[in-house]
Structure 1
């Protein structure tokens, strides 16, 4: 990866700003990570307290300082409220790859915000971090997220059987990937 992650990168699109998540954002984070509908395909139980959001924000900070990932808070321009996040995790500089994830407050679903955030994140990772492969694991029932990544050029590589243990059962996940050579930032 070519650009050092010494300074937290702020990304901007026409409608949104992707910025560092601060402790002061805990209530905003709690608002959507405590929502059962939002968390349905997330792989963890909905948050029960704001303290869980505060601990999560500390983990996001560690992810960045340890150079294992970057988690951006999604805000609408002109409004500092965090309405979701888009993130790289399990970054592997030696192999030029990372995983990507995203989550959005349901009040903002269906407006293209998640796609705009993911596209900006992809562009940053591929161009500035020199990542070659970005992968996403998505539950088969999460059709909306599958369609989102497919619109951005991801290809479904296969089914990861019993890949994740959640709520007392093993879940299958689809593996999607996007290679640097697949991505067209103009689309």
Structure 2
């Protein structure tokens, strides 16, 4: 995996700028990570404090440093405010695979923003990180995320029963994957 530690890669789309998340973004991140609806399928309880956000930002930075992940803040080009994030986690270099994850402030749901951000991040994963496989783990009740993954070309491979224990309960997860050759057809 070739993650440049000297210059965080900024990605641009028609409407979006995906950039490094910094501590100055904590208040805008707390706004959506404290929302029950946004956090319903996130695997964590809604955030209540800026300290929790700083810990999350610290985690993003540590995964980048360890080359096991990279997380972009999603901003509208005309406003430099983080409205969500998207990126890779659990990068397994030896297998050329990674998981992808994302979340978005609910005020921006249904506007194609997550899809636009995912297009850019997926392209980066295949082109720059030389991934062969990108996978997404999605809770079955998260219909919007299931539809988004399928729209992006991800294939549902199966159900992982009681795969995660989060928020006091075991959750089933669908395993979705997108292979490099799926986009080359």
Q: Which range, TM-score by smaller chain?
A: over 0.9
What residue is the counterpart of 2:67 in the other structure? 67
How far off its partner does 1:184 sit?
5.5
SS of the aligned residue for 1:137 comes to strand
Q: 2:88 aligns to what SS in structure 1?
A: strand
List per-residue Cα deviations over 1:159-186 (Å, max 9, x = no partner). 000000022221100000000001269x
Which structure 2 residues correspond to residues 24-173 of structure 1 after superposition, within 5 A? 24-173=24-173
Query: What is the TM-score when the length of structure 1 is the normalising length?
Result: 0.96
Do 1:5 and 1:67's aligned partners in 2 also have CA atoms closer than 8 Å? Answer: no
Q: Distance in 2 between matches of 1:42 and 1:91?
A: 19
Q: List aligned pairs for 1:15-26, cutoff 5 A.
A: 15-26=15-26
The number of residue pairs the alignment matches comes to 184
| Aligned 8 A contact 2:11 2:18 in 1 | yes
| Partner SS, residue 48 of structure 2 | coil
Shift of 1:77: 0.4
Partner deviation per Cα, 1:73-104 (whole Å, 9 max, x = no partner): 00000211000000100001110000000000
The answer on whether the counterparts of 1:152 and 1:183 sit within 8 Å (CA) in structure 2 is no
> How far did 1:72 drift?
0.2
The normalised TM-score by structure 2 is: 0.97
Q: Which residue is equivalent to 1:179?
A: 179
CA distance in 2, matches of 1:51, 1:168: 22
Give ranges in structure 2 of 5+ residues lacking alignment.
none
* Aligned-partner Cα distance in 2 for 1:4–1:119: 19
Q: Which moved more, 1:151-160 or 1:56-65?
A: 56-65
Structure 2: distance between partners of 1:184 and 1:136: 19
Structure 1's consecutive aligned runs of 4 or more residues displaced over 3 angstroms after TM superposition are: none
